[in-house]
Amino acid sequence: HTPWPGLIEAYRDRLAIGPNWKTVTLREGGTPLLPAGHLSELTGCDVYLKVEGLNPTGSFKDRGMTMAVTDALARGQQAVLCASTGNTSASAAAYAAKAKMTCAVLVPQGKIAMGKLAQAVMHGARIIQVQGNFDDCLELARKTTAEFPTIGLVNSVNPVRIEGQKTAAFEICDALGKAPDVHALPVGNAGNITAYWRGYSEYYADGLTSVKPRMLGVQAAGAAPLVHGAPVKDPETIATAIRIGSPASWNGAVTAKEESHGAFRAATDDEILEAYRLIARTEGVFVEPASAASVAGLLAARKEGWLDSGLTVVCTVTGNGLKDPDTALAGMPEVQPIPVDPVAVASALELA
């Protein structure tokens, strides 16, 4: 039994790896593909959750970041910069710390979940709050790195990020022994759907799988440019991770949808929150709100007859629920403390 080496080592022959790369890894990837019994019952399908919240910094971003920070180091760059709704910045901060590089993150003012901010702080990133949304932050990051080439841009507009993230599709096919029929995932800046489609397409082209899944990309209703077919100027949703109006990988997402005969869907904040609670209570998996969009979209698609029963379906749940305790605890009723007394415990449980 050899321990999981991290995804660059695990899939070295399938990744565009530069010469003289000294891998910066936190042993990311190798996440569970968890059978989801309740969701399977609800849909009549074989549903699995790809639990990306179990990556080292609690989101799928680590798959791209091991590649991007390794690449920046090999290029001799002194610092890395990203725009982020929170997870990319947490990941960049951790990998930069591991590589002993400087990291700066541009985040939309007041719109990132507390846990993600805590991660960037702890890993020593320079946190720069911007008076604007994610789209403004990304434009600023692109302009800054274009003007100052010693700073590496580690957003998913950096192609090595997508390379790393495609390994999630490889892992799913390796675990199932085949490709799923349908793959659902939340879409924000659209790097991840682009990466999955590349991964599935490469396995298929090499004869390792005999089908490619239909891709179901789910956006939040208040931030659904791909669903509307046009950028959204002031995106708004409780799922702050995907509060994005102008996805950088627009073309990659459209290609994934069209080539796979898939679909884009919008999920309302209510649907997202309902799926968020459902996964936690029935599958034992605590994800962040944006991650639950994949499940919300899948359930709605099933109701509308888009999904036949008997199919094998994978939903990527992209980030860990611990990142956003505020949303989890919102609306929790105030409870009175009880005396130190077993009868009081039993009566609190309405068992006495």
The DSSP letter of residue 53 is G
**Shorter beta-carbon distance to ligand F0G: residue 46 or 57:** 57
Applying the rule CB under 6 A, the residues between 238 and 297 that interact with ligand F0G are: 241-242, 288, 290-291
Binding mask 3-42 for ligand F0G (x = CB under 6 A): ----------------------------------------
Cα–Cα separations (whole angstroms), residue 60 to 20, 70, 165, 197, 330: 25, 17, 7, 15, 25
Stretch that binds ligand F0G, among 28-36, 40-48, 189-197, 303-311 (CB under 6 A): 189-197
Determine if 87 is a binding residue for ligand F0G (CB under 6 A): yes
Residue 320: helix, strand or coil by DSSP? strand
Q: Which of 299, 195, 186, 324 is nearest to 243 (CA)?
A: 186
DSSP-assigned states of every residue in 61-115: HHHHHHHHHHHHHHTT-SEEEEE-SSHHHHHHHHHHHHHT-EEEEEEETT-S-HH
| SS (HEC) of 269-290 | HHHHHHHHHHHHHHHCCCECHH
Determine if 191 is a binding residue for ligand F0G (CB under 6 A): yes
Applying the rule CB under 6 A, the residues between 292 and 331 that interact with ligand F0G are: 318-319
Determine if 156 is a binding residue for ligand F0G (CB under 6 A): yes
Q: Using CA atoms, how far apart are residues 239 and 324, in angstroms rounded to an integer?
A: 10
**Shorter beta-carbon distance to ligand F0G: residue 186 or 222:** 186
Cβ of residue 177: shortest distance to ligand F0G, in angstroms? 27
**Shorter beta-carbon distance to ligand F0G: residue 46 or 145:** 145
Q: Using CA atoms, how far apart are residues 311 and 182, in angstroms rounded to an integer?
A: 7
Applying the rule CB under 6 A, the residues between 89 and 148 that interact with ligand F0G are: none
By CB under 6 A, name the one of 56, 86, 262, 321 that touches ligand F0G: 86
**Shorter beta-carbon distance to ligand F0G: residue 74 or 130:** 130
**Shorter beta-carbon distance to ligand F0G: residue 80 or 290:** 290
**Tokens 């094998």 sit on residue:** 312
Interaction site with ligand F0G (CB under 6 A): 59, 61, 84-88, 156, 186-192, 241-242, 288, 290-291, 318-319
